């Protein structure tokens, strides 16, 4: 361990004294110092904080990734510069040298991540303290931004029995005569399953649609919050209508709570812009003792002096309606988000180091940056390739490209799957399980595998360059 | 075969071919090299630029892998980590980290040798003093002159008190002080029984310190053997005396022509070597406390060097005997007994040395080409130079030499 740490110390010293880290710190200071001032035109402190967190964490992610790739270049520079000749003439196994390099890069990146994280936290708190004293804004900041909330989707009723009833009804009424084989009385199992699925989807769609003057009660389970009036929970939803009214405003009534189960009932009148997410805070005593919450939406305009439109409301998916309740603090959430960023940096450090074990600095740098871009865009690229259409003219080409990308994205992790910035910004919980998953996938499996591969490649490499 | 019988370095059919991008043979850097370096030898690897010296050294250190052939260092493959604890290496350039200072540089390498804190600190201080950079130890290496960086390179090579010291072009970029120091270090370490492999194309440096030489050209070994065997000229005799008058020179000339029909080819007053003159000048400047931010003249060789090496009783006695013999040779300016002297020359020497022995002008050296301030390479022990229990030591020496065979 002594030798590994000696190499790690040297790598950290290089990063610091070659002013690589200094440039990074200057960038971060620029962001931390400048961003809050540029956000003063934001309409509320909570929005300003959300924007600040989004930009600062996003910027930190990119800058630290670049720094990590750049720090890893030291190995290939040592080969070119000849320092490796003295190092490898010393009694240090090559795997320890690679491990030491990795440890040094990760140590420096971690220090900078912790410092930057502390800076982001400090600036966030300063923005809260120096913000305008608006009670509503303050409550929103506290309950919807600087918190860690768990989200529960709406419980969808089981439409299986109803779907089977409708299917049988149609079958008996001769609705499938055209597709039934001659003499048969039943559809084949695949067709039947497809038909049942269609019925279920239709029923669910119907359930998610609320016609004018109708109401729909949505139920949420496992709302594990403190059921007191001084605590709040949030209902988050995005309403759509079949046909937009001229003012693009939906007016409706909400009833939250279920007196039949011993809770308070809160009546809320809403004017909401259609097609956008909205969040309503309600006291937590609307939750029943069995941890369920009832929310009834009535498609009726409660504002009699305002224009009336016959809107048909629908939710395009059940993600468009959820209940959020606090389960942790902003500090814990930020810590978990930073931990997840660290997992990505560890993985990236291993990959960048592996490339320097094989390639010279410019090539290794380019390969690592390409890898970083692909890992960051993996989700988008996977979707793009899945729906890739070449017009049918080159089927073989399409298959080949899709095959190639499948292999590529088997090897390249999707970094967006381990990014909790969007959740953190919206005060949603970055779960510990998520962090542990990142730790398992990116560090225990990914990093270990890549560092081992780097060790093997470096062991086989002749560290002295041909000179004669 | 015990541990001391194994050659420190042994290569058999060692070949290195550099290939191009398409894996085609591009250059044969080393071609079928067979080499053996025994414990305690100072071995000079000579050759012009591109002759394969550095490539050979890099293969000996496991930095390059041979295309063909075998290498063993202390009886093990050069990639063996344990072997590297016994090696010190100074590459042809000072490949040091520019952002570290001298002390930090040595600390890094000391940690790789797993030297413990106090021992590491002690050795670093002693080596800094030895290479004359103790006052510049806090400056970054990037600010050093080439020669100063080279001195730190030497210090790092000695940090582990190596049994085998590999010096690749050690005097390149050094000032005369540094060159002198390298030579002194090589001689001192050789006297302490270390094995030294020195690669250079500066022939004078190699000639001054090496007892064995191999000459490479085009990757092949063209000549090898002991320095004295390869360089001795049997057709010439050289005298060095105190200053002679023209009359005396004329008498000697007549004597030679009459007695042996031999001619004096040249007569002249020998000049000081420039190195000696330079060293004297620097000594005077340092004595006058002239300020300098450069390297100082070095201190004594660090006392830990050679002390950690467990030596056998025979090795210790043989080394002591050789040292005593060597010092006696210097003191009494003996003619080495093994040099064959032709009969006419012998008579001539007798005539020239007939004057009483207390006249210092008549004391002469023959074939002693060393400068006075340069201790000669230790010769095999002359029997009469050894005091004490000569019989016991002689028998030990014989046994040891037989074993080394």
B184-241, pLDDT tens digit by residue?
888 888 888 899 999 987 777 788 888 898 888 888 888 888 877 777 777 777 778 8
Residue B104 neighbours by CB distance under 10 Å: 19
CA distances from B129 to B158, B299, B307, B338 (A): 13, 6, 18, 41
Among chain A residues, the shortest Cα distance to B166 is held by: A89
pLDDT of residue B326: 39
pLDDT band at A25 (very low <50, low <70, confident <90, very high): confident
Which residues are CB-neighbours of A39 under 8 A, at least 6 positions away?
A: A48, A51, A52
The two beta strands, A278-283 and A266-273, are unpaired
A34-38, A404-408, B79-83, B369-373 — which is least confidently predicted?
Answer: B369-373
State yes or no: pLDDT of A161 exceeds 50: yes
Is A268 touching B (CB cutoff 8 A)?
Answer: no
CB B162 within 8 A of CB B331: no
> Is B64's CB within 8 Å of A85's CB?
no
Q: What's the fold here for domain B9-231?
A: Rossmann fold (3.40.50)
A15-29, B90-104, B149-163 — which is least confidently predicted?
Answer: A15-29
Is B112 touching A (CB cutoff 8 A)?
Answer: yes
Cα separation, B75 vs B7, whole angstroms = 7
Is B63 touching A (CB cutoff 8 A)?
Answer: yes
Give the closest residue to B171 by CA, choosing from B193, B146, B189, B192.
B146
In the 8-state DSSP scheme, what is residue A443?
I
Decide which of A186 and A275 is more confident.
Answer: A275
Is A20 touching B (CB cutoff 8 A)?
Answer: no
> Is A85's CB within 8 Å of B95's CB?
yes
Rounded to the nearest 10 degrees, what angle do helices A330-358 and A45-72 cross at? 20
Residues of A in Cβ contact (< 8 Å) with B91:
82, 85-86, 89
In the 8-state DSSP scheme, what is residue B206?
H
Q: Which of residues 64-103 of A touch B (CB under 8 A)?
A: 81-93
Q: What's the fold here for domain A210-329?
A: Jelly Rolls (2.60.120)
> Is B113's CB within 8 Å of A91's CB?
yes
Helix or strand (DSSP H, E) at A62: helix A45-72
Decide which of B155 and B366 is more confident.
Answer: B155
State yes or no: pLDDT of A314 exceeds 70: yes
> Is B108's CB within 8 Å of A93's CB?
no
CB-closest option in B50, B87, B113 to A468: B50
Cα separation, B390 vs A355, whole angstroms = 65
Rg value, chain A, Cα: 29
Give, in degrees to the nearest 5, the angle at Cα A317 between A313 and A321. 75
Residues of A in Cβ contact (< 8 Å) with B30:
none
Is B104 touching A (CB cutoff 8 A)?
Answer: yes
Residues of A in Cβ contact (< 8 Å) with B153:
86
CB A293 within 8 A of CB A155: no
CB B67 within 8 A of CB B15: yes
> Is B63's CB within 8 Å of A85's CB?
yes
Buried b (16+ CB within 10 A) or exposed e, B372-387: eebbebbbebbeebbe
Is A9 touching B (CB cutoff 8 A)?
Answer: yes
State yes or no: pLDDT of B328 exceeds 50: no
> Is A83's CB within 8 Å of B58's CB?
no
> Is B95's CB within 8 Å of A90's CB?
no
Is B376 touching A (CB cutoff 8 A)?
Answer: no
Decide which of B291 and A242 is more confident.
Answer: A242
pLDDT of residue A396: 76
DSSP B126-179: HHHHHTT-GGGTTSBGGGS-HHHHHHHHHHHHHTT--SEEEEESTTTT--HHHH
Cα separation, A73 vs A67, whole angstroms = 10
pLDDT in tens, A337-393: 999 999 999 999 999 999 999 898 889 999 999 999 999 988 888 888 777 665 555
CA distances from B371 to B208, B271, B368, B374 (A): 10, 11, 9, 5
> Is B63's CB within 8 Å of A464's CB?
yes
Q: Which of residues 142-161 of B touch A (CB under 8 A)?
A: 153, 156
CB B210 within 8 A of CB B227: yes
> Is B114's CB within 8 Å of A464's CB?
no
At B50 the three-state DSSP class reads: coil
Give the closest residue to B298 by CA, choosing from B173, B150, B403.
B150
A443 Cα to chain B: minimum distance (Å): 27
B28 Cα to chain A: minimum distance (Å): 9
Is B96 touching A (CB cutoff 8 A)?
Answer: yes
**Domain residues of chain B, as ranges?**
9-231, 274-404
pLDDT band at A40 (very low <50, low <70, confident <90, very high): low
Cα separation, B379 vs B365, whole angstroms = 15
CB-closest option in A91, A463, A466 to B81: A91
Residue B326 neighbours by CB distance under 10 Å: 20
pLDDT band at B127 (very low <50, low <70, confident <90, very high): very high
Among chain A residues, the shortest Cα distance to B53 is held by: A468
> Is B109's CB within 8 Å of A90's CB?
yes
**Terminal CA-to-CA distance of chain B, rounded, Å?**
12
> Is B156's CB within 8 Å of A86's CB?
yes
Among chain B residues, the shortest Cα distance to A10 is held by: B108
Residues of B in Cβ contact (< 8 Å) with A17:
99-100
> Is A467's CB within 8 Å of B54's CB?
yes
Residues of B in Cβ contact (< 8 Å) with A92:
81, 112
State yes or no: pLDDT of A238 exceeds 80: yes
**Domain residues of chain A, as ranges?**
2-145+355-460, 160-206, 210-329
Going across the sheet that includes A266-273, the strands are A215-220, A293-298, A249-256, A266-273
Is A449 touching B (CB cutoff 8 A)?
Answer: no
> Is A3's CB within 8 Å of B95's CB?
no
Residues of A in Cβ contact (< 8 Å) with B27:
466, 468
């Amino acid at each position: 361990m002594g030798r590994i740490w000696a190499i790690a110390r040297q790598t950290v010293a290089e990063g610091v004294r070659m002013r690589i880290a200094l440039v990074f710190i200057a960038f971060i200071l620029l962001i931390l110092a400048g961003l809050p001032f540029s956000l003063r035109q934001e309409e509320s402190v909570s929005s300003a904080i959300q924007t600040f967190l989004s930009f600062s964490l996003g910027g930190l992610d990119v800058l630290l990734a670049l720094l990590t790739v750049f720090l890893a270049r030291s190995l290939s520079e040592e080969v070119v510069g000849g320092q490796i000749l003295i190092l490898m003439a010393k009694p240090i196994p090559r795997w320890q040298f690679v491990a030491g390099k990795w440890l040094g890069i990760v140590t420096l990146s971690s220090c900078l991540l912790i410092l930057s994280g502390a800076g982001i936290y400090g600036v966030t708190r300063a923005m809260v303290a120096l913000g305008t004293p608006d009670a509503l804004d303050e409550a929103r900041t506290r309950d919807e931004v600087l918190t860690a909330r768990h989200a529960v989707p709406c419980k969808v009723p089981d439409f299986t029995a109803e779907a089977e009833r409708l299917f049988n009804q149609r079958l008996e009424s001769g609705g499938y005569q055209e597709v039934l084989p001659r003499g048969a009385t039943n559809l084949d199992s695949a067709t039947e399953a497809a038909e049942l699925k269609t019925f279920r989807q239709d029923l669910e769609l119907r359930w998610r649609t609320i016609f004018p003057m109708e109401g729909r009660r949505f139920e949420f389970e496992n709302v594990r919050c403190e059921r007191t009036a001084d605590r709040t929970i949030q209902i988050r939803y995005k309403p759509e209508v079949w046909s937009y009214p001229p003012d693009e405003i939906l007016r409706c009534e909400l009833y939250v709570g279920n007196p039949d189960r011993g809770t308070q009932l809160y009546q809320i009148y809403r004017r909401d812009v259609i097609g956008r997410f909205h969040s309503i805070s309600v006291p937590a005593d609307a939750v029943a003792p069995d941890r369920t919450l009832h929310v009834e939406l009535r498609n009726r305009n409660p504002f009699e002096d305002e224009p009336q439109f016959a809107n048909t409301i629908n939710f395009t998916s059940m993600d468009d309606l959820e209940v959020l309740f606090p389960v942790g603090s902003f500090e814990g959430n930020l810590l978990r988000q930073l931990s997840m960023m660290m997992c990505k940096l560890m993985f990236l450090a291993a990959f960048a180091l592996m490339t320097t074990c094989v390639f010279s600095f410019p090539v290794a740098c380019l390969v690592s940056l390409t890898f970083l871009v692909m890992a960051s865009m993996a989700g988008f690229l996977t979707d793009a390739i899945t729906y890739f259409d070449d017009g049918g003219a080159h089927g073989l080409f399409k298959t080949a490209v899709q095959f190639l990308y499948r292999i590529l994205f088997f090897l390249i992790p999707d970094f967006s799957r381990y990014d909790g910035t969007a959740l953190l910004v919206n005060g949603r919980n970055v779960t510990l399980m998520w962090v542990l998953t990142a730790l398992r996938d990116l560090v225990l499996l990914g990093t270990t595998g890549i560092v081992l591969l780097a060790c093997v490649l470096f062991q086989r490499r002749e560290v002295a360059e041909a000179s004669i | 075969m015990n541990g001391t019988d194994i050659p420190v370095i042994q290569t058999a059919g060692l070949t290195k071919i550099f290939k191009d991008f398409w894996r085609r043979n591009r250059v044969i850097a080393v071609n079928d090299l067979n080499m053996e370096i025994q414990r305690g030898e100072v071995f000079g690897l000579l050759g012009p630029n591109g002759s394969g010296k550095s490539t050979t050294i890099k293969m000996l250190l496991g930095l390059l892998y041979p295309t063909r052939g075998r290498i063993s260092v202390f009886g093990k493959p050069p990639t063996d980590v344990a072997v590297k604890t016994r090696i010190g290496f100074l590459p042809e350039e000072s490949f040091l980290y520019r952002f570290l200072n001298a002390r930090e540089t040595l600390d890094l390498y000391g940690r790789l040798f797993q030297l413990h804190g106090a021992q590491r600190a002690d050795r670093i201080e002693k080596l800094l003093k030895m290479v004359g950079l103790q006052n510049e130890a806090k400056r970054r290496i990037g600010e050093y002159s080439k020669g100063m960086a080279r001195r730190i390179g030497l210090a790092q090579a000695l940090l582990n008190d190596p049994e085998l010291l590999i010096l690749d072009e050690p005097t390149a970029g050094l000032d005369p002080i540094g060159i002198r120091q390298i030579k002194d270090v090589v001689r001192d370490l050789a006297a302490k029984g270390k094995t030294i492999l020195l690669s250079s194309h500066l022939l004078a440096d190699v000639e001054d310190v090496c007892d064995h030489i191999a000459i490479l050209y085009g990757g092949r070994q063209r000549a090898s053997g002991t320095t004295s065997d390869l360089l001795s000229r049997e057709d010439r005799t050289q005298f060095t005396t105190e200053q002679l008058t023209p009359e005396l020179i004329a008498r000697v000339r007549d004597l030679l022509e009459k007695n042996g029909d031999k001619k004096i080819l040249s007569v002249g007053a020998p000049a000081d070597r420039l190195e000696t003159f330079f060293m004297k000048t620097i000594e005077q400047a340092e004595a006058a406390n002239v300020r300098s931010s450069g390297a100082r003249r070095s201190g004594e060789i660090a006392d830990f060097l050679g002390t950690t090496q467990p030596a056998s009783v025979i090795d210790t006695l043989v080394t002591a005997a050789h040292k005593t013999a060597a010092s006696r040779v210097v003191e009494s300016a003996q003619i080495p007994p093994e040099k064959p002297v032709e009969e006419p020359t012998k008579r001539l020497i007798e005539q020239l040395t007939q004057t009483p022995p207390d006249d210092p002008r008549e004391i002469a050296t023959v074939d002693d080409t060393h400068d006075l301030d340069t201790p000669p390479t230790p010769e095999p022990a002359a029997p009469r130079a050894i005091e004490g229990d000569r019989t016991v030591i002689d028998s030990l020496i014989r046994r040891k030499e037989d074993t080394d065979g």
